[in-house]
Amino acid sequence: MATRKARGGTLIAGGGFAGAYVARYLGKRGCTIASPENFVLFTPMLPEAASGTLEPRHVVIPLRVMCPHAELLLDRLTALDTDTHTATVGPFKVEYERLVLALGSIPRALPIPGLAEAGSLTNETVFSLTELPKRLAVIGAGPIGCELAQAFRRLGSEVVLFDAAPHVLVREDADAAEILQRAFVRDGIRLVLSCELRRVTRRGPRRVIELAAGEVAVDEILVGAGRAPNVEGLGLEAVGVQYDPARGVLVNDHLQTTNPRIYAAGDVCMQHKFTHMADAAARIVIQNTLFLGRKKLSALHVPWCTYTDPEIAHVGMYERDAARQGIAVDTFVTPLSTVDRAIADGEEEGFVKVHVKKGTDRILGATIVARHAGEMLNEITLAMVGGLGLGTLANVIHPYPTQAEAIRKTADAYNRTRLTPRVKRVFQSWLAWTR
Protein backbone atom coordinates (compact mmCIF):
# COMPACT_ATOMS: atom_id res chain seq x y z
CA MET A 1 0.00 0.00 0.00
CA ALA A 2 1.46 3.35 -1.09
CA THR A 3 2.23 5.95 1.58
CA ARG A 4 1.79 9.67 1.09
CA LYS A 5 1.81 12.76 3.29
CA ALA A 6 -1.27 14.89 3.83
CA ARG A 7 -0.92 18.25 2.13
CA GLY A 8 -0.07 20.91 4.70
CA GLY A 9 0.00 18.19 7.36
CA THR A 10 -3.79 18.20 7.71
CA LEU A 11 -6.06 15.31 6.75
CA ILE A 12 -9.81 15.92 6.73
CA ALA A 13 -12.05 12.87 6.86
CA GLY A 14 -15.33 13.82 5.19
CA GLY A 15 -16.24 16.27 2.47
CA GLY A 16 -19.53 17.61 3.79
CA PHE A 17 -19.99 21.18 4.91
CA ALA A 18 -17.81 20.90 8.05
CA GLY A 19 -14.89 19.34 6.16
CA ALA A 20 -15.25 21.72 3.24
CA TYR A 21 -15.30 24.75 5.54
CA VAL A 22 -12.13 23.59 7.35
CA ALA A 23 -10.40 23.09 3.99
CA ARG A 24 -11.54 26.46 2.68
CA TYR A 25 -10.37 28.32 5.78
CA LEU A 26 -6.96 26.62 5.56
CA GLY A 27 -6.51 28.52 2.29
CA LYS A 28 -3.18 28.17 0.49
CA ARG A 29 -1.70 26.15 3.34
CA GLY A 30 -3.68 23.30 1.82
CA CYS A 31 -4.90 19.97 3.15
CA THR A 32 -5.97 16.52 2.00
CA ILE A 33 -9.67 15.64 1.98
CA ALA A 34 -10.76 12.00 2.11
CA SER A 35 -14.30 11.87 0.73
CA PRO A 36 -16.11 9.38 -1.51
CA GLU A 37 -17.89 12.31 -3.18
CA ASN A 38 -16.29 15.27 -4.89
CA PHE A 39 -19.06 17.77 -4.19
CA VAL A 40 -21.15 19.37 -1.47
CA LEU A 41 -24.83 18.98 -2.26
CA PHE A 42 -27.71 21.18 -1.12
CA THR A 43 -31.25 20.40 -2.29
CA PRO A 44 -33.99 22.95 -1.58
CA MET A 45 -37.64 21.93 -1.48
CA LEU A 46 -39.64 23.02 -4.49
CA PRO A 47 -42.26 25.69 -3.75
CA GLU A 48 -44.78 24.14 -6.14
CA ALA A 49 -45.50 21.07 -8.25
CA ALA A 50 -47.28 20.84 -11.57
CA SER A 51 -49.82 18.04 -12.20
CA GLY A 52 -48.36 15.88 -9.47
CA THR A 53 -44.88 15.90 -11.02
CA LEU A 54 -41.86 17.00 -9.04
CA GLU A 55 -38.73 18.37 -10.64
CA PRO A 56 -35.99 18.25 -7.98
CA ARG A 57 -33.37 20.98 -8.29
CA HIS A 58 -29.94 20.33 -6.80
CA VAL A 59 -27.43 22.99 -5.86
CA VAL A 60 -24.07 21.24 -6.32
CA ILE A 61 -20.81 22.83 -5.20
CA PRO A 62 -17.71 20.90 -6.39
CA LEU A 63 -15.15 20.49 -3.61
CA ARG A 64 -12.41 21.61 -5.98
CA VAL A 65 -14.27 24.91 -6.41
CA MET A 66 -15.04 25.39 -2.71
CA CYS A 67 -11.54 24.27 -1.63
CA PRO A 68 -9.18 25.03 -4.55
CA HIS A 69 -5.99 24.39 -2.55
CA ALA A 70 -7.03 21.01 -1.18
CA GLU A 71 -5.90 17.61 -2.43
CA LEU A 72 -8.94 15.38 -2.92
CA LEU A 73 -8.85 11.61 -2.42
CA LEU A 74 -12.12 10.16 -3.66
CA ASP A 75 -12.42 7.45 -1.06
CA ARG A 76 -13.57 6.94 2.49
CA LEU A 77 -11.28 6.78 5.49
CA THR A 78 -11.51 3.15 6.67
CA ALA A 79 -8.79 2.66 9.29
CA LEU A 80 -6.48 4.60 11.59
CA ASP A 81 -3.08 3.70 13.03
CA THR A 82 -2.04 5.50 16.21
CA ASP A 83 1.60 4.35 16.10
CA THR A 84 2.38 5.75 12.66
CA HIS A 85 -0.23 8.54 12.64
CA THR A 86 -1.57 7.28 9.36
CA ALA A 87 -5.03 6.77 7.94
CA THR A 88 -6.09 4.25 5.33
CA VAL A 89 -7.87 5.98 2.45
CA GLY A 90 -8.53 3.64 -0.48
CA PRO A 91 -5.15 2.36 -1.74
CA PHE A 92 -3.14 4.87 0.31
CA LYS A 93 -1.70 5.20 3.77
CA VAL A 94 -1.87 8.93 4.48
CA GLU A 95 0.50 10.37 7.08
CA TYR A 96 -0.89 13.34 8.99
CA GLU A 97 0.20 15.80 11.66
CA ARG A 98 -3.40 16.59 12.51
CA LEU A 99 -6.65 14.88 11.58
CA VAL A 100 -10.09 16.48 11.48
CA LEU A 101 -13.08 14.13 11.65
CA ALA A 102 -15.90 15.75 9.69
CA LEU A 103 -17.87 12.62 8.85
CA GLY A 104 -21.30 14.17 9.21
CA SER A 105 -24.48 12.33 10.14
CA ILE A 106 -26.98 9.89 8.70
CA PRO A 107 -30.78 9.77 9.00
CA ARG A 108 -31.77 8.17 12.31
CA ALA A 109 -33.41 4.77 11.83
CA LEU A 110 -36.50 3.76 13.79
CA PRO A 111 -36.99 0.26 15.23
CA ILE A 112 -40.54 -0.15 13.95
CA PRO A 113 -41.25 -3.77 12.90
CA GLY A 114 -41.65 -4.04 9.14
CA LEU A 115 -40.53 -0.49 8.34
CA ALA A 116 -37.27 -1.52 6.67
CA GLU A 117 -39.01 -4.19 4.58
CA ALA A 118 -41.84 -1.87 3.51
CA GLY A 119 -39.40 0.86 2.54
CA SER A 120 -39.28 4.50 3.57
CA LEU A 121 -37.85 7.85 2.59
CA THR A 122 -35.49 10.09 4.58
CA ASN A 123 -34.75 13.80 4.41
CA GLU A 124 -31.99 12.85 1.94
CA THR A 125 -33.79 10.44 -0.40
CA VAL A 126 -37.12 12.30 -0.45
CA PHE A 127 -35.66 14.82 -2.88
CA SER A 128 -35.21 12.09 -5.47
CA LEU A 129 -38.98 11.71 -5.87
CA THR A 130 -40.26 12.62 -9.32
CA GLU A 131 -43.95 11.90 -8.66
CA LEU A 132 -45.94 13.54 -5.88
CA PRO A 133 -47.28 10.86 -3.49
CA LYS A 134 -51.03 11.12 -3.14
CA ARG A 135 -50.87 10.10 0.53
CA LEU A 136 -47.74 10.60 2.61
CA ALA A 137 -47.03 9.53 6.18
CA VAL A 138 -44.39 11.51 8.08
CA ILE A 139 -43.01 9.84 11.19
CA GLY A 140 -41.56 12.36 13.62
CA ALA A 141 -42.88 15.85 14.40
CA GLY A 142 -39.49 17.43 15.03
CA PRO A 143 -38.04 20.14 12.78
CA ILE A 144 -37.33 17.85 9.79
CA GLY A 145 -40.71 16.14 9.98
CA CYS A 146 -42.62 19.40 10.38
CA GLU A 147 -40.83 21.17 7.53
CA LEU A 148 -41.39 18.35 5.06
CA ALA A 149 -44.94 17.57 6.21
CA GLN A 150 -46.05 21.13 5.52
CA ALA A 151 -44.10 21.34 2.27
CA PHE A 152 -45.71 18.21 0.84
CA ARG A 153 -49.16 19.23 2.04
CA ARG A 154 -48.79 22.50 0.16
CA LEU A 155 -47.55 20.62 -2.88
CA GLY A 156 -50.85 18.73 -2.80
CA SER A 157 -50.24 15.48 -0.90
CA GLU A 158 -52.56 14.24 1.81
CA VAL A 159 -50.23 14.20 4.82
CA VAL A 160 -50.49 12.30 8.09
CA LEU A 161 -47.96 13.36 10.76
CA PHE A 162 -47.19 10.84 13.52
CA ASP A 163 -45.36 11.42 16.80
CA ALA A 164 -45.22 9.84 20.25
CA ALA A 165 -45.24 13.31 21.85
CA PRO A 166 -48.50 15.13 22.65
CA HIS A 167 -47.73 18.04 20.30
CA VAL A 168 -45.39 19.00 17.47
CA LEU A 169 -41.87 20.32 18.13
CA VAL A 170 -41.87 19.02 21.69
CA ARG A 171 -38.42 20.52 22.41
CA GLU A 172 -39.40 23.97 21.15
CA ASP A 173 -41.03 26.82 23.07
CA ALA A 174 -44.53 25.52 23.88
CA ASP A 175 -46.29 28.73 22.75
CA ALA A 176 -44.43 28.64 19.45
CA ALA A 177 -45.21 24.97 18.90
CA GLU A 178 -48.89 25.62 19.59
CA ILE A 179 -49.04 28.28 16.88
CA LEU A 180 -47.44 25.93 14.36
CA GLN A 181 -49.76 23.10 15.32
CA ARG A 182 -52.78 25.32 14.65
CA ALA A 183 -51.27 26.23 11.27
CA PHE A 184 -50.93 22.54 10.42
CA VAL A 185 -54.58 21.94 11.26
CA ARG A 186 -55.58 24.85 8.99
CA ASP A 187 -53.40 23.40 6.22
CA GLY A 188 -55.24 20.10 6.48
CA ILE A 189 -52.40 18.02 7.89
CA ARG A 190 -53.78 15.12 9.89
CA LEU A 191 -52.01 14.95 13.27
CA VAL A 192 -51.72 11.59 15.03
CA LEU A 193 -49.98 12.43 18.31
CA SER A 194 -49.27 10.53 21.54
CA CYS A 195 -49.25 7.40 19.44
CA GLU A 196 -47.28 4.17 19.21
CA LEU A 197 -46.61 2.70 15.78
CA ARG A 198 -46.81 -1.07 16.11
CA ARG A 199 -45.94 -2.32 12.65
CA VAL A 200 -45.64 -1.38 8.98
CA THR A 201 -46.69 -3.80 6.23
CA ARG A 202 -46.70 -3.66 2.45
CA ARG A 203 -50.01 -4.37 0.74
CA GLY A 204 -49.55 -4.03 -2.97
CA PRO A 205 -48.46 -0.48 -3.76
CA ARG A 206 -49.62 0.79 -0.35
CA ARG A 207 -47.78 0.86 2.95
CA VAL A 208 -50.01 0.25 5.95
CA ILE A 209 -49.12 1.63 9.38
CA GLU A 210 -50.68 -0.23 12.28
CA LEU A 211 -51.57 1.66 15.48
CA ALA A 212 -53.53 0.76 18.58
CA ALA A 213 -56.47 2.75 17.20
CA GLY A 214 -56.44 1.22 13.73
CA GLU A 215 -54.56 1.44 10.44
CA VAL A 216 -53.42 4.18 8.07
CA ALA A 217 -52.63 3.34 4.44
CA VAL A 218 -50.29 5.61 2.46
CA ASP A 219 -48.26 5.65 -0.74
CA GLU A 220 -44.96 6.70 0.86
CA ILE A 221 -43.51 6.92 4.36
CA LEU A 222 -41.02 9.64 5.27
CA VAL A 223 -39.00 9.14 8.44
CA GLY A 224 -38.13 12.53 9.93
CA ALA A 225 -36.78 11.39 13.29
CA GLY A 226 -33.57 13.42 13.25
CA ARG A 227 -30.03 12.42 12.41
CA ALA A 228 -27.40 10.20 14.02
CA PRO A 229 -23.60 10.76 13.97
CA ASN A 230 -21.70 8.78 11.36
CA VAL A 231 -19.13 7.01 13.56
CA GLU A 232 -19.39 3.28 12.90
CA GLY A 233 -16.72 1.16 11.23
CA LEU A 234 -13.79 3.57 11.44
CA GLY A 235 -11.73 1.89 14.13
CA LEU A 236 -11.69 5.03 16.27
CA GLU A 237 -10.95 2.90 19.35
CA ALA A 238 -7.59 1.96 17.83
CA VAL A 239 -6.40 5.57 17.96
CA GLY A 240 -7.84 6.40 21.36
CA VAL A 241 -10.83 8.38 20.10
CA GLN A 242 -13.84 7.80 22.30
CA TYR A 243 -17.32 8.00 20.82
CA ASP A 244 -20.91 7.18 21.58
CA PRO A 245 -23.30 5.88 18.88
CA ALA A 246 -25.94 8.44 19.92
CA ARG A 247 -23.76 11.46 20.82
CA GLY A 248 -21.00 10.89 18.28
CA VAL A 249 -17.29 11.57 18.73
CA LEU A 250 -16.60 12.88 22.22
CA VAL A 251 -14.81 16.23 22.16
CA ASN A 252 -13.81 18.82 24.72
CA ASP A 253 -14.82 22.47 24.58
CA HIS A 254 -12.07 23.12 22.01
CA LEU A 255 -13.38 20.36 19.67
CA GLN A 256 -10.38 18.18 20.48
CA THR A 257 -11.03 14.45 20.77
CA THR A 258 -9.52 12.14 23.38
CA ASN A 259 -6.56 11.85 20.98
CA PRO A 260 -4.81 15.26 21.06
CA ARG A 261 -3.81 15.03 17.37
CA ILE A 262 -7.38 14.53 16.27
CA TYR A 263 -10.19 17.11 16.21
CA ALA A 264 -13.80 16.81 15.10
CA ALA A 265 -16.32 19.24 13.63
CA GLY A 266 -19.93 19.24 12.52
CA ASP A 267 -22.67 16.66 12.91
CA VAL A 268 -20.28 13.87 13.89
CA CYS A 269 -19.65 15.44 17.29
CA MET A 270 -22.03 18.32 17.93
CA GLN A 271 -25.46 18.55 19.51
CA HIS A 272 -26.60 21.27 17.10
CA LYS A 273 -26.55 19.63 13.67
CA PHE A 274 -26.87 22.70 11.45
CA THR A 275 -24.89 23.82 8.41
CA HIS A 276 -24.12 27.16 10.06
CA MET A 277 -22.72 25.31 13.08
CA ALA A 278 -20.45 23.32 10.78
CA ASP A 279 -19.05 26.66 9.65
CA ALA A 280 -18.63 27.88 13.24
CA ALA A 281 -16.96 24.62 14.27
CA ALA A 282 -14.54 24.82 11.33
CA ARG A 283 -13.39 28.25 12.50
CA ILE A 284 -12.78 26.93 16.01
CA VAL A 285 -10.78 23.96 14.70
CA ILE A 286 -8.59 26.17 12.50
CA GLN A 287 -7.80 28.60 15.31
CA ASN A 288 -7.12 25.88 17.86
CA THR A 289 -5.00 23.58 15.66
CA LEU A 290 -2.89 26.10 13.75
CA PHE A 291 -2.70 29.18 15.94
CA LEU A 292 -2.55 27.71 19.45
CA GLY A 293 -5.95 29.19 20.07
CA ARG A 294 -8.27 28.37 22.94
CA LYS A 295 -11.57 29.06 21.26
CA LYS A 296 -14.48 27.37 23.01
CA LEU A 297 -17.63 25.85 21.60
CA SER A 298 -19.52 26.83 24.75
CA ALA A 299 -18.80 30.52 24.08
CA LEU A 300 -20.97 30.50 20.97
CA HIS A 301 -24.53 31.83 20.86
CA VAL A 302 -26.26 29.29 18.64
CA PRO A 303 -29.31 30.40 16.64
CA TRP A 304 -31.53 28.07 14.64
CA CYS A 305 -34.73 28.17 12.68
CA THR A 306 -37.44 25.69 11.74
CA TYR A 307 -38.46 26.59 8.19
CA THR A 308 -42.19 26.14 8.36
CA ASP A 309 -44.88 28.76 7.81
CA PRO A 310 -44.66 30.55 10.14
CA GLU A 311 -40.99 30.04 10.89
CA ILE A 312 -39.86 29.43 14.46
CA ALA A 313 -36.43 30.87 15.27
CA HIS A 314 -34.55 30.60 18.56
CA VAL A 315 -31.24 31.55 20.14
CA GLY A 316 -29.83 30.91 23.61
CA MET A 317 -31.80 29.56 26.55
CA TYR A 318 -35.39 28.54 26.93
CA GLU A 319 -37.09 29.25 30.25
CA ARG A 320 -36.67 25.58 31.19
CA ASP A 321 -32.91 25.80 30.56
CA ALA A 322 -32.60 28.77 32.91
CA ALA A 323 -34.70 27.01 35.56
CA ARG A 324 -32.46 23.93 35.30
CA GLN A 325 -29.41 26.11 35.94
CA GLY A 326 -31.08 28.00 38.78
CA ILE A 327 -31.15 31.30 36.88
CA ALA A 328 -34.14 33.55 37.54
CA VAL A 329 -35.46 35.28 34.42
CA ASP A 330 -37.85 37.99 33.35
CA THR A 331 -39.69 37.33 30.09
CA PHE A 332 -41.01 39.97 27.72
CA VAL A 333 -43.40 39.11 24.88
CA THR A 334 -44.71 41.21 22.00
CA PRO A 335 -47.54 39.62 19.97
CA LEU A 336 -47.37 40.32 16.23
CA SER A 337 -51.02 41.36 16.49
CA THR A 338 -49.70 44.65 17.95
CA VAL A 339 -47.26 45.27 15.07
CA ASP A 340 -48.61 47.32 12.15
CA ARG A 341 -46.67 45.53 9.39
CA ALA A 342 -47.83 42.10 10.62
CA ILE A 343 -51.41 43.38 10.66
CA ALA A 344 -51.06 44.73 7.12
CA ASP A 345 -49.53 41.42 5.96
CA GLY A 346 -52.29 39.37 7.61
CA GLU A 347 -49.61 37.59 9.67
CA GLU A 348 -50.74 38.45 13.16
CA GLU A 349 -50.26 34.99 14.68
CA GLY A 350 -46.76 35.08 16.10
CA PHE A 351 -44.62 36.85 18.66
CA VAL A 352 -41.21 37.97 19.82
CA LYS A 353 -40.28 36.54 23.22
CA VAL A 354 -37.07 37.51 25.03
CA HIS A 355 -35.73 36.15 28.31
CA VAL A 356 -33.38 38.34 30.38
CA LYS A 357 -31.60 37.65 33.62
CA LYS A 358 -33.91 38.84 36.38
CA GLY A 359 -33.28 42.41 37.43
CA THR A 360 -31.02 43.10 34.42
CA ASP A 361 -31.38 43.53 30.67
CA ARG A 362 -28.83 40.79 29.85
CA ILE A 363 -30.42 38.67 27.11
CA LEU A 364 -30.31 34.93 27.84
CA GLY A 365 -32.48 33.69 25.01
CA ALA A 366 -35.20 34.54 22.52
CA THR A 367 -37.85 32.89 20.37
CA ILE A 368 -39.53 34.49 17.37
CA VAL A 369 -42.54 33.14 15.48
CA ALA A 370 -43.13 34.98 12.20
CA ARG A 371 -43.13 34.47 8.43
CA HIS A 372 -39.41 35.43 8.32
CA ALA A 373 -38.42 34.75 11.92
CA GLY A 374 -34.98 33.48 10.89
CA GLU A 375 -34.11 36.88 9.41
CA MET A 376 -35.51 38.79 12.40
CA LEU A 377 -33.55 36.74 14.94
CA ASN A 378 -30.17 38.01 13.74
CA GLU A 379 -30.66 41.34 15.51
CA ILE A 380 -31.07 39.63 18.88
CA THR A 381 -28.21 37.21 18.22
CA LEU A 382 -25.94 40.16 17.40
CA ALA A 383 -26.94 41.86 20.66
CA MET A 384 -26.07 38.70 22.62
CA VAL A 385 -22.70 38.28 20.89
CA GLY A 386 -21.87 41.96 21.40
CA GLY A 387 -22.96 41.99 25.03
CA LEU A 388 -25.74 44.52 24.37
CA GLY A 389 -28.68 44.45 26.74
CA LEU A 390 -32.33 44.37 25.76
CA GLY A 391 -32.72 48.00 26.83
CA THR A 392 -30.20 49.05 24.18
CA LEU A 393 -32.37 47.58 21.41
CA ALA A 394 -35.04 50.13 22.28
CA ASN A 395 -32.69 52.77 20.81
CA VAL A 396 -32.46 50.99 17.45
CA ILE A 397 -34.60 52.77 14.86
CA HIS A 398 -36.40 50.29 12.63
CA PRO A 399 -37.83 51.26 9.24
CA TYR A 400 -41.60 51.60 9.40
CA PRO A 401 -43.47 49.43 8.79
CA THR A 402 -41.48 46.23 9.40
CA GLN A 403 -42.24 43.17 11.49
CA ALA A 404 -38.86 43.58 13.19
CA GLU A 405 -40.40 46.54 15.01
CA ALA A 406 -41.68 43.86 17.40
CA ILE A 407 -38.13 43.61 18.74
CA ARG A 408 -38.07 47.32 19.61
CA LYS A 409 -41.48 47.01 21.23
CA THR A 410 -40.15 44.15 23.36
CA ALA A 411 -37.21 46.30 24.41
CA ASP A 412 -39.61 49.13 25.26
CA ALA A 413 -41.53 46.72 27.48
CA TYR A 414 -38.34 46.03 29.41
CA ASN A 415 -37.54 49.73 29.77
CA ARG A 416 -40.99 50.37 31.24
CA THR A 417 -40.11 48.03 34.11
CA ARG A 418 -37.34 50.43 35.07
CA LEU A 419 -39.97 53.02 35.97
CA THR A 420 -40.12 52.05 39.64
CA PRO A 421 -42.51 53.88 42.02
CA ARG A 422 -39.61 55.96 43.29
CA VAL A 423 -38.47 56.94 39.79
CA LYS A 424 -42.06 57.68 38.87
CA ARG A 425 -42.42 60.05 41.84
CA VAL A 426 -39.19 61.83 40.87
CA PHE A 427 -40.44 62.29 37.29
CA GLN A 428 -43.81 63.56 38.50
CA SER A 429 -42.10 66.07 40.81
CA TRP A 430 -39.81 67.24 38.03
CA LEU A 431 -42.67 67.67 35.55
CA ALA A 432 -44.77 69.53 38.12
CA TRP A 433 -41.84 71.85 38.91
CA THR A 434 -41.13 72.59 35.19
CA ARG A 435 -44.80 73.12 34.27
φ and ψ at 250, to 5 degrees? -85, 125
| Cα–Cα distance for residue pair 199/194, rounded to 1 Å | 16
Domain with 295, as residue range(s), is 2-105+227-299
Looking at the fold, whether 147 and 215 belong to one and the same domain comes out as yes
Low-confidence ranges of the chain (pLDDT < 50): 47, 49-50
Q: Is residue 375 part of a domain?
A: yes
Tell me whether residue 55 is exposed, middle or buried, using C-beta atoms within 10 angstroms of its C-beta: 0 to 12, 13 to 18, 19 or more.
exposed
Q: What is the pLDDT of residue 259?
A: 93
Task: State whether 189 and 248 are in the same domain.
Answer: no
β-bridge mates for residue 202, sequence order: 207
429, HSE (Cβ side, Cα atoms, 13 Å): 6
Q: Specify if 288 maps to a domain.
A: yes
The secondary structure of residue 328, as a DSSP letter, is -
The answer to whether residues 215 and 233 belong to one domain is no
Q: DSSP E strands: which ranges in 84-133?
A: 86-89, 92-95, 98-101, 105-107
Per-residue burial over 11-43, b if 16 or more Cβ lie within 10 Å, else e, is bbbbbbbbbbbbbbbbeeebbbbbbeeebbeee
Is residue 424 assigned to a domain?
no
Provide the pLDDT for residue 51. 52
- Residues 38, 181 share a domain: no
Residue 80: the pLDDT is 86
Q: 290 and 325 share a domain?
A: no
The verdict on 395 and 377 lying in the same domain is yes
CA distance 82 to 6: 16
Same domain for 409 and 276: no
Claim to verify: residue 176 and residue 270 sit in the same structural domain: no
Are both 288 and 260 inside the same structural domain? yes
Q: Does any domain span residue 432?
A: no
Same domain, 123 and 214: yes
Question: How many domains is the chain built from?
Answer: 3
- What's the whole-model pTM score? 0.91
166 located within any domain: yes
CATH number at residue 16: 3.50.50.60
Residue 376 in domain: yes
Domain boundary among 243, 271, 299: 299
Q: Is residue 160 situated within a structural domain?
A: yes
* Residues 325 and 375 both lie in one domain: yes
Does residue 97 lie within any of the structural domains? yes
Domain CATH code at residue 319: 3.30.390.30
Peptide bond into 401 cis (omega under 30): yes
What was the pLDDT predicted at 47? 45
86 exposed, middle or buried (CB, 10 Å; 0-12, 13-18, 19+)?
A: buried
Query: Which amino acid is present at 230?
Result: N
Could you tell me if 213 and 279 lie in one domain?
no
**What pLDDT is recorded for position 212?**
87
